[in-house]
């Protein structure tokens, strides 16, 4: 391939409905908690909780600094919970 292919404009990308992100976030949180509580594979549950963070359940068009405080606190607590569970598994 000698010619470079132009990259599609981001505005022409397919938009995913906001409800999808909320459902995906909820699914991975529930799956992670189920793995942690009901399974012997603790780290799979922790990784599911970490994957849930990919699907931001709040309005992604709003910049971080403009988000309400409760949304920022929720996501920061979620990150520290995942990091804490990971550290618990490593050092316990």
Distances (CA, A) of 20 to 15, 26, 34, 49, 59: 11, 10, 21, 17, 12
Q: Is 74 among the domain residues?
A: yes
pLDDT at 16: 82
pLDDT at 69: 97
Q: Is 28 among the domain residues?
A: no
Tokens of 10: 């981001």
Segments forming the whole domain that contains residue 48: 36-92
Q: Is 11 among the domain residues?
A: no
The domain tally of the chain equals 1
Q: Mind listing the pLDDT tens digit of every residue in the chain (92 residues)?
A: 566 666 566 566 678 888 999 999 999 999 999 999 999 899 999 999 999 999 999 988 899 999 999 999 999 999 999 999 999 999 98
Q: Is 92 among the domain residues?
A: yes
pLDDT at 30: 97
3-state secondary structure of 6: coil
pLDDT at 36: 94
Q: Is 69 among the domain residues?
A: yes
Of 68, 28, 87, 8, residue with least CA distance to 76: 68
CA pair distance 58, 25, nearest whole angstrom: 10
Q: Is 50 among the domain residues?
A: yes
Q: Is 3 among the domain residues?
A: no
Q: Is 4 among the domain residues?
A: no
């Amino acid at each position: 391939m000698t010619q470079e292919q132009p990259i599609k404009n981001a505005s022409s990308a397919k938009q995913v409905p906001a409800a999808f992100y909320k459902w995906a976030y909820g699914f991975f949180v529930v799956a992670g908690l189920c793995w942690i509580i009901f399974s012997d594979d603790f780290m799979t549950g922790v990784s599911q909780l970490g994957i849930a963070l990919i699907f931001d359940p709040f309005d992604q068009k709003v910049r971080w600094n403009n988000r309400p405080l409760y949304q920022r606190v929720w996501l920061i607590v979620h990150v520290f919970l995942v990091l804490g569970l990971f550290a618990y598994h490593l050092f316990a």
